[in-house]
Amino acid sequence: MKTNPLRLFALLLMAGLGACDAQPPSPQGFAGLGSRSAEFASVTRDRSFSFPLDHGAHPDYRIEWWYLTANLEDQQGRSWGVQWTLFRNALRPAADQPGWNNPNLWMGHAAITGPYGHRHAETFARGGIGQAGVSPMPFKAWIDDWHLSGQLPGQANLTELQVSASGSGFRYRLQLSSDKPLVLQGDKGFSQKSGQGQASYYYSQPFLQAQGTLELDGNSYVVKGQAWLDREWSSQPLAADQQGWDWFSLHLSSGEKLMLFQLRHADGRHYRAGTWISATGDSEVLSEQDMRIRPLQLSRVAGRKLPTRWALSIPSKQLELTVEALQEQAWMPTRFPYWEGPIRFRGSHQGLGYLEMTGY
Amino acid sequence: MAVLYWTLSALCSHWRRHPVQFFSLLTGLWLATSLWTGVQALNSQARDSYARASQLIAGDAHSRIGARSGGRFSQQVFVDLRLAGWPVSPLLQGSLRLRGQAEQRLQVLGIEPLTLPRGTRLAGQALADLDLVAFLDQPGRTWIAADTLKALDLAEGEQPLTVGGQALPPLYLHPQLAPGVLLVDIGVAQRLLDAPLQLSGLLLSRDFAAGMPRLPSALDGQLRISRAGDEADLARLTESFHLNLTALGLLAFVVGLFIVNAAIGLALEQRRPLLRTLRACGVSARCLLAALALELCGLALLGGVLGVISGYGLASLLLPDVAASLRGLYGAEVAGQLNLSPQWWLSGLAISLLGALLAGAGSLLRAAHLPLLALAQPEAWHQAQALWLRRQAWLAGALLVLALLALVFGASLAMGFVLLACLLLAAALLLPVCVSGLLAWWLPYCRAPLAQWFVADSRQQLPRLALALMALLLALAANIGVGSMTEGFRQTFIGWLDQRLAAELYLRPESPQQGRAIEAWLAERAEVSALLPSWRVELPVQGWPVELTGILDHPTYRQHWPLLEAAPGAWERLAGGAGLMLSEQLARRLQLGLGEELSLVTPQGDWRLTVVAIYADYGNPKGHLLVNAAALQRYWPGLRPGSYSLRLPPAAVPALKQALQARFALDERKLVDQSELKAWSGRVFDRTFVATSALNSLTLGVAGVALFISLLTLSQSRLGQLAPLWALGVGRRQLVLLSLGQTLLLALITLLLAIPLGLLLAWCLVAVINVQAFGWRLPLHVFPWQLLQSAALALLATLLAAAWPLWTLYRVSPAELLRTFANEN
């Protein structure tokens, strides 16, 4: 559950306010998002999802994202990671009408992490003019010349997609396909983010097989691997004292998928949750009591210390893992910076995945 | 230290006894510094405004994409380019007026902050510090500079209405914004400017532009990329204007220094006995010199402070006119509120100090070489006068040669000013030579002893008055030169305007659609005898911004478009499509003559045209080209007319204008009749030269002061010469009249020399400086009435300057006259 983007996007937008009301970001959940969001639609239990319509934007809600990560391998057997993200943030609840006074702001992030380091790109767009947006049928999410789209007219499960993005010195284009259905995270898509009721709608397509090419500094690499697509939207997902979060998505070599996150509270009582997804796509909610998440080793990244090795365990699943970043320096020095990169894990299970850390 | 202190106080006691002298010295320093710093303040204020304007969007030295026609284009172009991976950011520029403040035109700049290239600075502020939410959300924000806010008499947070009734987002102060600019979100700009879905430009980051990207072929015909620095910016366009102001300021400064020189020289002369006594009392030469230098510095600082303060005052007085000139001439917005850096104040003081030292250097040097025990004798007038004159003549000759070289080989504005400076200096140096020669020639013709004395004594006074007379000569010549140039320019300009503005009504439609509708509507009107559309494209020609206008073949142009030079059948060749007419300044810049070829870069490839005529285009900083409309449209297909000239009986103008306004809601900028346009141009012209003529008159005033001080100096030491005459029976009244006659004689000779010098100066201004600075050459006009006025003014200044010294002479008691004999030993 990538709460980070929302926070970082909002923080970016609020950055200008810093001068007038110079509050430290932490007490108000970074960006004052703990504050009123009453005008926006609120997230409630028992919403019935309707696909493919829900793949499109939900302008009644303040924030929303389309988030793809892929763990890839080139022909020499080297590991790569790819990130493609599109965020939507509404300044105010209003119809998604054409024109510059459309309330939506869009932000795209793209990154390649591999044996030669980490590259990233960032772009912004205003809603209402066609520079960025998402249409559900056929599915197409775009900002500038970056795309995440499917050719099929209506895809309930987002099983055939292609993704492309480029930045300074890099470019990627991947074909994605899956034969499994979407996975609703949390309680049938209602994903709680704190003990105080903050929540988001959240579903994923974690079974995507990826293949395509990466270009880096003029060299081309043919790659294939697995990808994970997240969809999430909300209006007020964070509690006031939540400082940051650590989010894991794991592709177990046995075919299962695992999503875990912890929202770090100032008092040390972190909020944790997750989903265990069987190889056939059946999901099982994991709660705080089911898991242990512990940083093992800190690395110096971009002038700060971040845990790049973690111990994860889920006793009920006999899962004991040591998780390690493939590239410690997978730092996203975007307007609001965070860490996002591929990981490898060993222990009771093996496999690859993605880790996101914010608020460090 | 104690010695220095006492020496200094002994020296300063002189000023207590001679307050008039003290104030003269101070006045010189004050005037010189004041005029110079005033001009500098105007220049720096204007440059600051340009810098603010050019840094409105800065940081990454962006390239821009604009429409080839110079107009607006569809917003979809921006989206299409973004979707093709081009990191462009949209801009919309335009101007508007606020309701109730119709005379003030404001520039609107619409930006899209999210897509601005990273590292962009908006009016000096980093993007990261921007309050994006407030800017993008409803009701948004209008950034405005403090001086603009004040000029509009509005307060922060207000939401004034445009004349079209659109409310601006709340005004929000931004210190570094350029004056007259409203910075708003692109969507707001489209609403305010009534340009829905329209853009005027796209910004491109330097990194991306460095890869020399090519526009997609579908857009290439419509748009062009201009690399950073391609466009001639305001600083470049206005350079010559400021250089002219600087030259005037410098002239005033130099004239002011003449005063300082005269006053210091006088003080030294009078304090010779004191200096000698001090030396005899054991004060070392070094100490004495130090004390004199300290005294000078103190005076310079005092005069400097006064000068800088009044310079500030002068600048704030002239600023509205200068700002109006710059707006009228170049469309440059200059803040109406003076805002000067500490540097300006310090440099003002420094220049005063430097000037005082320069002016006093001679006196200090003489004091240093003061023979210890030599008798305190008044300076011998005749001593080495011949040598002095000869030296001056040689120096003047050398300067004249230099001036000639600058005239022949110089091809820049700076060389033009070198020519002027050499010419003026040479003339100034030659002045005593000429006057002395004239008097020497006249002397043998004088029979009566008193007449002989009159001429010989005048000649003797010359070295002491020379500097003041030089100042008068320079000021008067400048007055005549600049006056003739201005007046000549005015007549030429007005005449040209009368001829050029032949159509009765000028109309600019809001959009091509409206243009079509207006064309159709006007076709029905019987009173309109001709509707002459013109097509306009802006493009750079060899790096210079140029407006290309396409016109129909119509007798109106043949009769009313004044040509400076024309090849045979020029209008026929223009109509044929292969001919090109161009403005005088552009012809000079491109060094093109009749019959030569110019190649234009168009969307359809190169277009080669032959120059068939050159016309005057006064007051246009950009280049101008005239071609046939049909040919233009071949190279810019789909281009719509940008404006229309209407021919109709003058009596029918008001009615038609009213009908057009009512039918198409055109505001007064889009629909102008001939008389309004002429009146407006005349106003712009007049304001342009207000500052120039004000400075000019002030310079003449300064010269008057210089003369006054010199005469005062003379009168102090002239008792010795006048006493014998008095003793021989010449009455005091007669003596006063004789002295007045001498002063007037010298002034008159100076004046007679100043007139040809002034005319020469005027010629240099119209034939050299104007050509280099603006690109147009004006005919030289001589205005006898103006010459008379200047001469009368100079004589008046002389009389005023002579009045006080003569009055003291008149009031001198016989006892004092007698005492001069008692002092003789």
| pLDDT of A7 | 42
Burial class (CB in 10 A: 0-12, 13-18, 19+), B507: buried
Assigned token pair, B277: 């006594």
- CB contacts < 8 A, A to B, total 71
A271-277 and A199-216: which strand pairing? unpaired
What type of residue is A41?
A
Give CA–CA dist B267/B287, Å, rounded: 18
Contact B131 A166 (CB under 8 A): no
Residue B389 has pLDDT above 90, yes or no: no
Nearest CB neighbour to B82, from listed A12, A144, A168? A144
Contact B138 A101 (CB under 8 A): yes
- Phi/psi at B91 (nearest 5 deg)? -135, 145
Whether residue B674 contacts residue B503, with contact meaning beta carbons closer than 8 Å, is answered with yes
Element (H, E) at B438: helix B413-442
| pLDDT of B70 | 65
Q: Judge if the upstream peptide bond of residue B175 is cis by omega within 30 degrees of 0.
A: no
Q: How far is B116 from chain A (nearest CA, A)?
A: 9
Which residue in B78, B133, B188 has the most chain A C-beta atoms within 10 A of its own C-beta, making it the best mutation to test that interface? Answer: B133
Assigned token pair, B707: 């003369």
Contact B82 A125 (CB under 8 A): yes
Contact B137 A126 (CB under 8 A): no
| pLDDT of B265 | 74
Nearest to A135 by CA among A37, A42, A27, A56: A56
What average pLDDT score do residues B803-825 get?
74
- Positive or negative torsion for Cα B125, B126, B130, B136: positive
Give CA–CA dist B538/B600, Å, rounded: 11
How do the domains of chain A map onto residue ranges?
3-11+56-358
Question: Which residue is closest to B140 within chain A, CA to CA?
Answer: A101
Assigned token pair, B766: 């119209």
| pLDDT of B729 | 83
- Show residues of chain B in contact with A144, CB under 8 Å: 82-83, 85, 87
Residue B703 has pLDDT above 80, yes or no: no
| pLDDT of A13 | 42
pLDDT, one tens digit per residue, over B26-46 is 887 888 888 888 888 887 777
Assigned token pair, B714: 């003379």
Whether residue B665 contacts residue B587, with contact meaning beta carbons closer than 8 Å, is answered with no
Question: Which residue is closest to A166 within chain B, CA to CA?
Answer: B85
Which residue in A63, A104, A129 has the most chain B C-beta atoms within 10 A of its own C-beta, making it the best mutation to test that interface? Answer: A129
Assigned token pair, B226: 């201009």
What ipTM was reported for this prediction? 0.89
Which residue in B76, B132, B141 has the most chain A C-beta atoms within 10 A of its own C-beta, making it the best mutation to test that interface? Answer: B132
Distance of CA B322 to CAs B332, B387, B679, B684, Å? 11, 47, 19, 11
- Say which residues have a Cβ less than 8 Å from residue A219's Cβ, sequence separation at least 6: none
Of residues B605 and A54, the one with the higher pLDDT is: A54
| pLDDT of A319 | 94
Q: How many CB atoms lie within 10 A of CB B588?
A: 18
| CATH of span A3-11+56-358 | 2.40.370.10
pLDDT, one tens digit per residue, over B53-75 is 666 655 445 678 888 766 788 99
Q: How far is A33 from chain B (nearest CA, A)?
A: 13
Q: To the nearest 10°, report the CA torsion of B317, B323, B328, B332.
A: 180
Contact B133 A13 (CB under 8 A): yes
Contact B131 A145 (CB under 8 A): no
Question: Which residue is closest to A165 within chain B, CA to CA?
Answer: B85
Distance of CA B599 to CAs B224, B230, B475, B542, B580, Å? 17, 18, 47, 10, 10
Residue B378 has pLDDT above 50, yes or no: no
| pLDDT of A171 | 95
Q: How far is B165 from chain A (nearest CA, A)?
A: 19
Q: How far is B67 from chain A (nearest CA, A)?
A: 20
pLDDT, one tens digit per residue, over B283-338 is 888 888 888 888 888 988 888 899 888 888 888 887 877 777 776 666 666 766 67
**pLDDT-derived band of residue B650, with 50, 70 and 90 as boundaries?**
confident
- Show residues of chain B in contact with A104, CB under 8 Å: none
Query: Out of A332-341, B226-235, B696-705, which region has the weakest mean confidence (pLDDT)?
Result: B226-235
| pLDDT of A70 | 97
Q: Judge if the upstream peptide bond of residue A237 is cis by omega within 30 degrees of 0.
A: no
Contact B136 A105 (CB under 8 A): yes
Query: Out of B87-91, B128-132, B491-495, B817-821, which region has the weakest mean confidence (pLDDT)?
Result: B128-132
Nearest to A323 by CA among A307, A301, A300: A307
A14 and B CB contact within 8 Å: yes
| pLDDT of B329 | 63
Contact A100 B190 (CB under 8 A): yes
- Mean pLDDT for chain B overall: 80
- Show residues of chain A in contact with B135, CB under 8 Å: 16
Of residues A37 and B76, the one with the higher pLDDT is: B76
Give CA–CA dist A37/A63, Å, rounded: 11
Q: How far is A111 from chain B (nearest CA, A)?
A: 16
Residue B376 has pLDDT above 60, yes or no: no
- Say which residues have a Cβ less than 8 Å from residue A47's Cβ, sequence separation at least 6: A189, A190, A201
Q: Which residues in chain A (87-146) have CB-CB distances under 8 A to chain B?
A: 91-92, 99-101, 103, 105, 123-126, 129-131, 142, 144-145
Residue B418 has pLDDT above 90, yes or no: no
What average pLDDT score do residues B185-195 get?
91
Q: How many CB atoms lie within 10 A of CB B614?
A: 23
Nearest to B462 by CA among B805, B754, B709, B746: B746
Nearest CB neighbour to B185, from listed A13, A15, A100? A100
Of residues A9 and B795, the one with the higher pLDDT is: B795
Give the count of alpha carbons within 13 A of A223, CB side only: 30
Nearest to B15 by CA among B291, B263, B262: B263
Give pLDDT < 50 ranges for chain A: 1-37
Residue B383 has pLDDT above 80, yes or no: no
Residue percentage of chain B with pLDDT more than 90: 6
Nearest to B152 by CA among B341, B323, B337: B337
Burial class (CB in 10 A: 0-12, 13-18, 19+), A162: middle
Nearest to B473 by CA among B752, B78, B133: B752
What average pLDDT score do residues B590-599 get?
88
Contact B83 A105 (CB under 8 A): no
